[in-house]
Each structure stands twice: as C-alpha cells, then as structure tokens.
Amino acid sequence: MDFELDTDQQAILDAVGVLLAQYAGPGRAIDLAAGDAYDFDLDAALADAGFTQVAATRGTGPLEAALVTEAVAAAGGMVSFGAAALVATGLGAGDLPGPIAISEARPPGPVRFASHARTLLVLDRKADEARVVALEPGTCAAVRSSFGYPMGRVPDALARSGDALGGGSAARLACWWRLALAAEATGTMAACLDVTTRYLSQRRQFGQAIGSFQAVQHRLAELAIQIEASKWLAREAAFQGAPAEGVATAASYALAAAAQVFAETHQLSGAIGFTREHDLHVFSMRLQTLRIEHGGVGAHRRALSAERWGRA
Amino acid sequence: MNFAFGREEEAFRHEVRAFLADYRDLDGFFRQGRVWPRVKAMFQAMGERGWLSLAWPREHGGSDASAVMEFLLWDEVAYARAARNPLAAGIVARTLIRHGSAEQHARWLPPIRSGHLHFSLAYSEPEAGSDLASLRTRASRQGERYVVNGRKIWQSYAQDMDCLWLLCRTGSSESRGRGLSLLIVDIDAPGVQLTPHPTLDGEQLNEVLLEDVEVPVENRVGPEDGAWALMSEALADERHIQFPPGRVRRDLEEMNAWVREQGLADDPHVVRRMADLAVRVLEVEMHGLRVLDAMQKGLPAVVEAAANKVAHSVVCQEIARAVVDLAGPEALVEGVRPSLLWRQSLWETIGGGTSEVMRGVVARKGLGLGGRA
C-alpha cells in the first residue's frame, strides 16, 4: 500500500498541469460561461496529449484517468473530461466523438454539456441498458443556467433512442458515472477551499488575518478533512476499477461534503464571494450541478445500501 | 402571555394586504435594482398613507404608531415580495429625529416621509467589514466644510439612491469607534464615483469612491466623533422590521408549490424535508415575535435580534437548497424561482451583519461569555 503518486503518475499530472495553466483557470471559465461556451481548445489539447485515453492506455488505467479528472476540475476546465476519460472508456464504448454528455432516460431534462455534445450516453434504468446516441451539435437546445456549466435540454425522444451497449451496461454506466462525479466534485471542492484559504490568509479584520481566528480555522479544517477523504475514496474506487459499492461510497461522501463546502466557503469569504468577479463561484456553483446529477446524493446512498446489504 | 394581535392590528394588516394587491408582480424584494422606478412609486404611495413615518413622533409628521403596526406593515411587504424596508424612513430618519437640528428636520424629513428621498448606507470599506471601527474614509474639516476622501464598498442599490448615509473618520486614525461621524452626502456631488460589482443573484453591489468630496458641515448628523452611539441607537429602532418572517413564509409556500409542480409531493423524503422546513419557518416566526415583544417593552432586544437574524437567514438558505436538491436539474435553469432563491439567499447570512457577528452577540451578550465587545 502506498498513497504517494508514483513517478509516472506525477509526470502525468505535471504535464496536465502545463496544459491547464495554458487552457484553464477561473478567468477563462468566467469568460466561457458568459457565452455558455465549451472549451474545445482544452478538450483537443487533452486528447492530443493522450490524457483522454489514459485509462485505456497500456501501463495506466482508471486511477490515472481519475487523477486527471480531478486536476481538470480543480482548474475549472470547461470540458466534459470525466465523461470521456472515465465513463466512455470504462464502458468500453470505443472511440466516441466528444464532447460527451450523460443523461438519464427519464426524465432527461437539462443536462450538463448537452448543448455542445456530439455523443450522448443514456442511462435507461427501466430497460436496464446504456445507450449511445450520436448527436449533431445543437440538437439539444442550450439552457441558460448560473451553475457553472453549459447545459442543454435533451428531448425525451432522443433519450429513448440510441444503440444499446448490451447486458449489464446500465450498471456499468451508473458506476463509471458515479466515479466521474466523485472525482470532479473532489477537484472542484479542493479549488473552493484553495480560493477561500488564500483569501482568508490575506484578508485582515480586527488587526489580524481572518484565517488566523480559531473559529474560522476550525471550519476550514473540517472542510479540508472532508475533501481529503473524498479524494482518497474516489481514487481508491478508480484504482479498483469502479466497483459498485466503492463508487457509491465515494459519490455519497463527496457530494454530501460538497453541500458543506459550498455553504462554508461562501460564508467565510463574505461579500466578495457573492460577486461575479471573485473566483469562488466558478467552482462553488458547479458543486450544486454535480450534487443533483445522476439522481443526487439520495440515489448514491440508496445504491450504496443496496450493494452492501441488498435491496429491502 | 398572549400570542394574538389585536383587532385594530389585524385590520391594519388587511389594509396593507389590500394595498399590496396592486404590487403583486413587482418582485422588488429580490430585484429592486431592476424595478426601482416602480418600487419608488410604491414607496410614494405608502408615503401618502403615512406608512413610511408610521412610528415617527407626531411632531415630525408621524403617527406615533406601535412597533407592532410597523412590524405588520413590513412583514406583509416582505411576504408580497414587494420591497425591502427603505433605509431612509428607518435608520436615517430616526437618527435625524433624535439628533438632528431643527433645520435638518425641516430639510430632510418631509421628502423621506413622502418616499421621494432615498439613502444608501455607506459603512463598509474594503478593509473594514465586520470590523467597522477600523474604517479609514476621512472627513477633514476645512472651515464650514468637510473634505471627504476614501472608499466604501458593498452598498446595495446605491446606483438608484439620492444620498449616502456616510460613516467616516473625523478623529485620529487610532480613535476606532470614538472618532467617527455621520454625514449626508449627495450621491451626485462632485468627487463621488460609483463602480458596480455584479453579484451572483443578477443584481449588483457598489463601490463608492470619494475623492475630495466637499460636504457642508450642516450635513453632519449628531456630534463630531460621536456617530458610534447614534448608529447603535438607530439599529436598535429597526430590529423588529429588518428581517421580517414574511420572507421565509413566502419562500416556503413558493417552494411547496414548486415541489408539487414537479410531481414530488408524494415522495416521503420530500414530505419529510418540507415538514422540517415548515418547523424551521415557525421557529423564525417565533424569533421575529420575540424581538417585537422586547421592542414593545422598550428593551434593547440585542440578543433577540441577533438570534432572529441568524435563524432567519439560515432558513432562507435551507429552503432554497432543499428545493434545488429535491427538484433536480430543472431547478438550475435560469429564471426559475429555485435558481434565483438559491443564489440570492447566499447574501442573507452575510449582508446586514454576518452570522459570525450575530453569533458573537448571542455568545457575549446572551450567554455572558467573554471576548471582544
């Protein structure tokens, strides 16, 4: 057992960091969000460097894909990276054209990245199958939202169409989707805490940095503990190849923590965190989108309970 | 003990409701910046009825009405989502009445009472938020004028207001709370510059830059260096109407309607969550009434008001968050109520005194624990 990154993993994250420094960051996310845009440049850069396929590459696997997913989220990358690198790859669905969006079959509703997607993965619980739907960009009308990602409305008929991926595909899609959510939430929460901690180290009131007040420190420490746990639960689930119980645990934990991270980082940032010019909202608002996707925390918890103790 | 309002009070509540029927679609409580001309017109209509000066003394054009009547008025206005109570008729006017000169009364009170003159509070600064006593905006006396220099931040609605109620330093830089004065500054005065900071609820907060702004000495309210006590007094006058429970009562009703619309009303998890919130809303009502009761008895209500502010603002957020969690992705769409409430309610635990400041008041003054005063 070893919680350290090995040299290859470190090299991957270093290389990803170079790309993200060029093609991501909160300022870029704010600009892209203003036009409901997708970051095709970042998407292409990640694909060209082989990171999108890292889970299917010899010598690396889902753990490396999860590490990159976490890093992309922590940098505010406006790309559907988890869906491509973890979910599509994990499903073994072949080389699907991106961007990839993931939707429930019923009701599909507004879906993250759907307005830009060229592939839609549909989880149809009733038919117990996952399907792949090829899309022309613009098939799903853009939906305005202030929650950090471009959204598109998936028409009902579209969500019922597509090529089935065969037996057990629904369960596999559900698992990889949970893993992607846990990894994205972890990276996004880490960024929220980072923005907040940096601000509170500088901001002074009552003659001292706000971050030096014990009551504030305790609250930040509690977030740090939860984010750390989210990270390792997600990484372990990735390492194990996205087992149902592991991903349900990781997603339940991370997305429950996300509620507290959202509330506390905003509260501790005060008025500046309420403005659109401060970086916090780039990350914090995304947490809520992640929280309710794929049935939300309640669905992850029910899945965990069912895996562990069987259905009632 | 008696938890009911009197007949006359209930009659007034109905009169207010009838008045507000014309403003049902105004939504000025959340979107004042976008509908200010209509909000202002409503304030003027309220002014004609004497409602902006309800509890002012008769000699200043008021009705000497009770705190209960004022509470009922602003509770209904909040429930109707029509507006937030205007600072001019509250904090500004009460301070003027108590500490202003006869000339100041004659000049400022009539237009405030009629809803024609509006104020933005200019207290916070980039380096002085919760720690207000450290503020740096300086007013230097030069003969019959002050020359004001400094920067204020986080002023809500300042873009539409007529005057700033400016808290500034006239004492030495180490004087903290003992060296502050209150000035009335025309927002169009040369040297006053507003910069908007767009906020997550689609509105804006403002930054106010003051560069060599000349303010006549007759615009100072109360004694030089003596503003701290005035501010505390004025705040005390407003405690029962600052965070009316009508806001959360309405939040819950809207959210319940939304949940039903989404077909979730029979889900046991939803039912439980809504019941929890209904209890919290009643808790907020009780805190609000507790403040009102203390006010009526002439008690300071400092702790009650701090507790009310915490409970009220936290419940605003709990309702908004519960419904977004329950209703799923549809709640994220721009323009739907849950999306707006989610974003707007973020401000409630920060603006008007953070929850941290309020909890500090409950701990120090309510529980008698030590620490910074």
Assign residue A250 the CATH number of its domain.
1.20.140.10
**Residues A149-195 pLDDT 10s:** 999 999 999 999 999 998 899 999 999 999 999 999 999 999 999 99
In this complex, the residue of A205, A285, A298 whose CB is nearest that of residue B131 is A205
d(CA A259, CA A243): 25
Residue with tokens 């503990």: A225
The amino acid that residue B185 corresponds to is V
Place of tokens 């961007």: A99
Q: What is the largest CA-CA distance in chain A?
A: 64
- Residues for chain B: how many in total? 373
| Least confident residue range of A45-49, A137-141, B18-22, B251-255 | A137-141
What average pLDDT does the segment B89-116 reach? 96
Q: Do A276 and B199 touch (CB under 8 A)?
A: yes
Identify all chain A residues contacting B332, using CB atoms and an 8 Å cutoff: 110, 145-147, 151, 288-289, 292
Q: What pLDDT shows up at residue B373?
A: 54
From first CA to last CA, the distance across chain A in angstroms is: 35
Residue A271: pLDDT band (50, 70, 90) is: very high
H helices within B212-348, ranges in order?
A: 227-238, 246-261, 268-296, 302-327, 337-345
Overall average pLDDT of the A295-305 stretch: 95
Contact predicate B215/B139, CB 8 Å: yes
User: Residue B328 and residue A292: Cβ atoms within 8 Å?
Assistant: yes
Is residue A58 situated within a structural domain?
A: no
**Does residue A14 belong to any structural domain of this protein?**
no
> What number of C-beta contacts closer than 8 Å exist between A and B?
101
A45 inside domain: no
What pLDDT band is residue A16 in, cutting at 50, 70 and 90? Answer: very high
Share of chain B above pLDDT 90, in %: 80
Q: Is the confidence at residue B122, as pLDDT, over 70?
A: yes
User: Phi and psi at residue A164, in whole multiples of 5°?
Assistant: -70, 145
Report helix angle A244-269 to A214-239, nearest 10: 160
pLDDT at residue number A137: 81
Q: What is the 3-state secondary structure (H, E, C) of B264-276?
A: CCCCHHHHHHHHH
Residue with tokens 């237009």: B111
- Per-residue pLDDT of A95-145, as tens digits, reads 899 999 999 998 778 999 999 999 999 999 999 999 999 999 889 999 999
Q: Which residue has the higher pLDDT, B191 or B353?
A: B191
Per-residue pLDDT tens over the stretch B244-294: 999 999 999 998 998 888 888 888 888 999 999 999 999 999 999 999 999
Q: Cβ of A125 under 8 Å from any chain B Cβ?
A: no
Closest approach of B358 to chain A, Cα-based (Å): 13
Is-same-fold flag (B119-226; B239-366)?
no
The per-residue DSSP string of A18-69 comes to: HHHHHH-SHHHHHHHHHTT---HHHHHHHHHTT-TTGGGSTT--HHHHHHHH
Chain A: give the shortest CA distance to residue B30, in Å: 15
In this prediction the pTM is 0.94
Is A274 close to B356, i.e. CB distance below 8 A? no
Chain A interface disruption, residue of B125, B130, B151, B200, most A CBs within 10 A: B200
Structural domain contains residue A281:
yes
**Cβ-proximal residues to A101 (8 Å cutoff; 6+ apart), any chain:** A80, A83, A111, A112, A113, A114, A116, A117, A119, A120, A121, A140, A152, A154
Residue of B nearest to A281 (CA): B200
Q: Is residue A265 part of a domain?
A: yes
Other Cβ atoms within 10 Å of A208 Cβ, number: 10
- Residue A212 contacts B, CB cutoff 8 Å: no
* Structural domain boundaries in chain B: 7-85, 119-226, 239-366
Q: Does domain B239-366 have CATH number 3.20.20.70?
A: no
What is the pLDDT averaged over residues B86-95? 94
Q: What is the mean pLDDT of chain B?
A: 93
Residue A296 CA to residue A287 CA, distance in Å, equals 11
d(CA B236, CA A129): 63
Quick check: helix, strand or coil at residue B211?
A: strand
Interchain contact, B129 vs A271, CB within 8 Å: yes
**For residue B372, what pLDDT band results from cuts at 50, 70 and 90?**
low
Q: How confident is the model at residue B238, as a pLDDT?
A: 84
Q: What local confidence, expressed as pLDDT, does residue B2 receive?
A: 80
Instruction: Evaluate whether B91 touches B43 at the Cβ level (below 8 Å).
Output: no
Taking the C-alpha atoms of residue B254 and residue A120, their distance in angstroms, rounded to an integer, is 34
Q: Give domain status of residue A123, yes or no.
A: no
Fold of B7-85: Butyryl-Coa Dehydrogenase, subunit A; domain 1 (1.10.540)
Q: Taking residues B93-106, report their average pLDDT.
A: 96
Give the right CATH number for B119-226 from 3.40.50.1220, 3.90.190.20, 1.10.730.10, 2.40.110.10. 2.40.110.10
Q: How far is CA B291 from CA B48, B88, B216, B286, B314, in A?
A: 28, 22, 38, 9, 17
Task: Give the amino acid at B228.
Answer: W
Q: How confident is the model at residue B127, as a pLDDT?
A: 83
Contact at CB, A144 and B154, closer than 8 angstroms: no
Contact A235, A66 (CB under 8 A): yes
A111 neighbourhood in chain B, CB within 8 Å: 329
H-run or E-run covering B145: strand B145-156
Q: Is the pLDDT of residue B43 over 60?
A: yes
Contact B117, B111 (CB under 8 A): yes
For residue B328, what pLDDT is reported? 85
Mutate to test the interface with B, among A143, A146, A210, A272 (most CBs of B within 10 A): A146
Residue A34 CA: distances (Å) to CA of A38, A150, B225 = 11, 10, 46
Tell me how crowded residue A310 is: count the other CB atoms within 10 A of its CB.
7
Q: Is residue A133 part of a domain?
A: no
Question: H or E segment at A100?
Answer: strand A100-104
Nearest by CB: B130 against A111, A205, A266: A205
Pairing of strands B180-186, B163-169: antiparallel
CB nearest to B129's CB, from A144, A270, A274? A270
Count of domains observed in chain A: 1
- Which regions of A105-253 does DSSP assign to beta strands (E)? 110-112, 119-124, 129-134, 141-143, 151-153, 163-164, 204-205, 208-209
Say if A222 falls within a structural domain. yes
- What is the distance in angstroms between the Cα of A275 and the nearest Cα belonging to chain B? 4
- Contact of B350 with B154, CB cutoff 8 Å: no
pLDDT at B25: 92
pLDDT tens for A178-188 read: 999 999 999 99
- 8 A C-beta contact, residue B320 and residue B251: yes
Domain containing A215: what range? 170-309
CB atoms within 10 A of CB B185: 25
Query: What distance in Å separates the CA atoms of residue A219 and residue A126, rounded to the nearest whole number?
Result: 42
Q: Which helix (H) or strand (E) holds B108?
A: helix B102-113
